[in-house]
Amino acid sequence: MPQARRPYRSTLREEQARATRHAVVGAARDLFVELGWSRTTIDAVAARAGVSRKTVFTSVGGKAALLKLALDWALVGDDEPVPLSGRQVIAEMEQLTDPRALVARWAQFVAELEERAAPLADVLVVAADADPEAADVHAVSERNRLGGAEFIVARLTAIDGLRPGLTTERAVAAALVLMDPAVHRTLVREHRWTSTEYADWIERAAVAELVEADIAQGRTRPRAKR
């Protein structure tokens, strides 16, 4: 009986395709930040990446797809097919049981994320008004940001760190403000705060607004009986 043939798989071809996609998305990211949504064209992306116009479409897609992938990669910091929810930083925060330590790690995470993604988030806001596909990308992005705010509030609640009397709705709203890319633009890009100063401000603001007062002031209290 003849042996079944394994499906042909070219590692080299896959690596070449990934390199091309990386070059195309990188070129698009840079042009979106430099020129904005309307002035960035597929031809300009192709020229910057050193590929043909057709290759841009076949490797990634149109402008909305380029912006989405550039933003996705900026959020996680690389092009690995692992969502943010599956990243090590999320696992780390899920293991922390001290509210101050959790907020400090979250603030650092937000600062690092916005450093990469905030410029593209600004482009996406403009793009959403001009392109229906970009509007869909923006809607998903906003839902994901809401999920991030809900995550930190849920974690604080789970470890009895959320300020008593603060409703989940108000806590999530406060976290959303701290995560807003516009805040990064104002403090870091316009007023030249360093990334460390930005992270420290997020931490202080989050502690003041979200964390139980005794914990925020470094005092301990008995955990509530369940």
| pLDDT of 222 higher than 90 | no
Bridge partners for 211 per DSSP: 162
CB atoms within 10 A of CB 188: 18
pLDDT per residue as tens digits for the range 13-58:
889 999 999 999 999 999 999 999 999 999 999 999 999 999 999 9
Domain ranges for the chain, please list them: 1-61, 71-216
CATH assignment of 71-216?
1.10.357
Per-residue burial over 88-101, b if 16 or more Cβ lie within 10 Å, else e, is ebbeebeebeebbe
- Distance CA(25)–CA(7), nearest Å, equals 29
| pLDDT of 219 higher than 80 | no
pLDDT per residue as tens digits for the range 136-164:
999 999 999 999 999 999 999 999 999 99
Global pTM value:
0.86
Q: Per the structure block, which two tokens stand in for 9?
A: 């798989």
pLDDT per residue as tens digits for the range 44-55:
999 999 999 999
Q: Which CATH class is domain 1-61?
A: mainly alpha
Total number of residues shown for the chain? 226
Of 46, 47, 72, give the one whose Cα is nearest residue 57. 46
